[in-house]
Amino acid sequence: MTKSSLTHFIPQRILRYAPTDLCPLDGDIPVLQLLNTCRNRDTANTKNYINTYEDFLTWCYEIRLIDQDTHNLLEIEGNCYVQEAAGIVNQVILAREMLYDLIYCLMSNEPVHHRVIEEFNTINIEANKHLRFEMTAYGLRKVWHNVDEEMAFPLWLIIKYAGDFLMSADVQFIKKCHCGSFYLDKTKNRNRRYCNPLTCGSVRRSTKYYQRCFSVTG
Ligand SMILES: [Zn+2]
């Protein structure tokens, strides 16, 4: 990889609770980035990074899913409608785990449970209610309609991306890093080994280095 191709692995961060415990942004595309907001899934050390609507909005802004104006507007909505915002967080977590089940099955060539497909359809139908055909400068396009103050809008964006992505040939390029994070390996020789070569990769390399030193001296 060239140095410039690595720059997107160093995103600008927004500090939240603890500067050392930031929500992971790795994953390359929104659907995989969403899966990675849960660490150590199905273990006693499971860590969920999306606990509040504010967490969700900050993460959406950090991965550039939404712009600053949308973030600020939805932040106000979230503060005004606290219960509704908590409901959106529940939907996000359910959608994330549904997408995890689906992607896990697709990667391991296992049959997908009909419950998972039903859940995907339910949220996709909800998102599609806000899409309509319009003539644009680029021709006929599906565009979002009346979503400015919809608190679930960022989730609908992810669901639309997920649907388009999971029907594409790029599904075959999904990989799982040794740390458990998912990423999309679109390198020419399909030899990318880490979700983030600058952090995960260097940790792995230094661990291996110390293990080698230990085995020589010990
Ligand atoms: Zn990793």
- In order of their start, the domains of the chain are 11-191 (1.10.3300)
Which of 14, 28, 15, 29 has its CA nearest to residue 197? 28
What gap in Å lies between CA 204 and CA 33, rounded to an integer?
Answer: 20
Alpha helices in the chain, H assignment, sequence order? 30-35, 53-62, 68-80, 82-107, 114-128, 153-166, 200-217
Report CA(65)–ligand 1 centroid distance (Å).
22
Q: What is the pLDDT of residue 217?
A: 46
In angstroms, what CA-CA distances link 21 with 50, 87, 117, 141, 180?
12, 25, 33, 40, 17
Instruction: Give me the pLDDT at residue 215, please.
Output: 58
Nearest to 153 by CA among 63, 80, 56, 218: 56
Ligand 1 centre distance from Cα of residue 92 (Å): 23
Distance CA 94, CA 142 (A): 26
> 3-class DSSP state for residue 131?
strand
pLDDT at 56: 96
- Across the chain, which has 218 residues, the per-10-residue mean pLDDT values are 63 62 88 96 91 95 95 97 97 98 95 96 97 94 93 98 95 94 93 88 62 53
CA–centroid distance, residue 200 to ligand 1 (Å): 5
**Ligand 1 centre and the CA of 184: distance in Å?**
12
Distance 137 CA to ligand 1 centre (A): 41
Which pair of tokens denotes residue 14?
């927004």
How many C-beta atoms surround the C-beta of residue 66 within 10 A? Answer: 19
Whole-angstrom Cα distance, residue 1 to residue 7? 11
- What gap in Å lies between CA 218 and CA 216, rounded to an integer? 6
Calpha distance 85→77 (Å, rounded): 8
**pLDDT tens-digit series, residues 122-165:** 999 999 999 999 999 999 999 999 999 999 999 999 999 999 99
CA–centroid distance, 116 to ligand 1, in Å, is 26
Centre of ligand 1 from the C-alpha of residue 198, in Å: 10
How far away, in angstroms, is 88 Cα from ligand 1 center?
28
38 C-alpha to ligand 1 centroid (Å) = 13
Q: What are the b/e assignments for 86-99, b being 16+ CB within 10 Å?
A: eebbebbbebbebb
